[in-house]
Amino acid sequence: MNRILYEPGECVKGVVIFRKEKARHIRQVLRAGAGDYLKVGEIDGPMGTGRILNVSSNEVCVAVETEALPRKPPVDLLLALPRPKVLKRLIPQIAALGVGQLFLTNASRVERPYFDTHVLEPETMRALLLEGLTQAGDTLLPKVRVVRRLKVFLEDELHARVDAEERLLLHPHGGEPLFHALHAGQARSSRVLLAVGPEGGWVPFELELFEKAGFRRVGMTHRVLRSDTACVAALAAVAMRGDSRPGRRPGEPAGNFRLFGPL
């Protein structure tokens, strides 16, 4: 855990009590004790710094000083629903890389039983998203929506739900390289909606729907990638486009770091 997260309402008069797995992680993994400082944050709220007041066998009591609300990630993701076991390992990575909204959509090459997976249940999905956020050190939960009718969504709902200036469609036989699309002119600072298809890519009918909805077709490499690999690589490319890490302060290292001892 690179940031210990707590639920809204758990901070009472500036103090949070961590229990169970979080308390064990602080004691045994971070090896932090009274007087040490931790990176903490309120889920869907501000990040902050916590000073450990006391440690017991079951609890860790932390005084919290909140900072700014993290910046919303500059990308939304429309992802053709992958196989359940792939989805389970992919969701934490998506949350760690950072997306504002995640649309899990049907497609011609998506098997219908995929929608019956327990991974799509709200509690399971939230736990996987939080796993990614604690790794990344962020607090903002992506907003997740399951889209069962892609055509209706693209034609009737997309404009009202997504405010991205750039709409990019990742496809094995793409046109412009993704790197060029992200770094060309105004795109360098614009919000992006990225569409990633299923194994085998989007079918011609779907490609036509996306193009009518204002998407530009882009590609990653001359190699054919698995959809989960392409998804992670594309999100990483968007994140590296600029200093998109939420809440980064002047002089703060770009990578993960551990904060202990007096500030």
pLDDT in tens, 171-192: 877 678 888 888 775 555 688 9
Residues of the chain with pLDDT > 70, as a percent, come to 89
Indicate if the pLDDT at residue 262 is higher than 80: no
Q: How confident is the model at residue 247 (pLDDT cuts 50, 70, 90)?
A: very low
The CATH architecture one would assign to domain 4-66 is Beta Barrel (2.40)
Is 32 exposed, middle or buried, given 0-12, 13-18 or 19+ CB atoms closer than 10 A?
A: buried
Whether 75-239 and 4-66 are alike in CATH topology: the answer is: no
Q: How confident is the model at residue 255 (pLDDT cuts 50, 70, 90)?
A: very low
pLDDT of residue 263: 33
pLDDT of residue 186: 55
| Residues in the chain, total | 263
Amino acid at 192: V
Rounded to whole angstroms, the Cα distance separating 51 from 28 reads 17
Indicate if the pLDDT at residue 51 is higher than 70: yes
Q: How confident is the model at residue 244 (pLDDT cuts 50, 70, 90)?
A: very low
Annotated domain spans of the chain: 4-66, 75-239
CATH, range 75-239: 3.40.1280.10
Helix (H, G, I), strand (E, B) or coil at 189: coil
Helix (H, G, I), strand (E, B) or coil at 146: strand
pLDDT of residue 242: 58
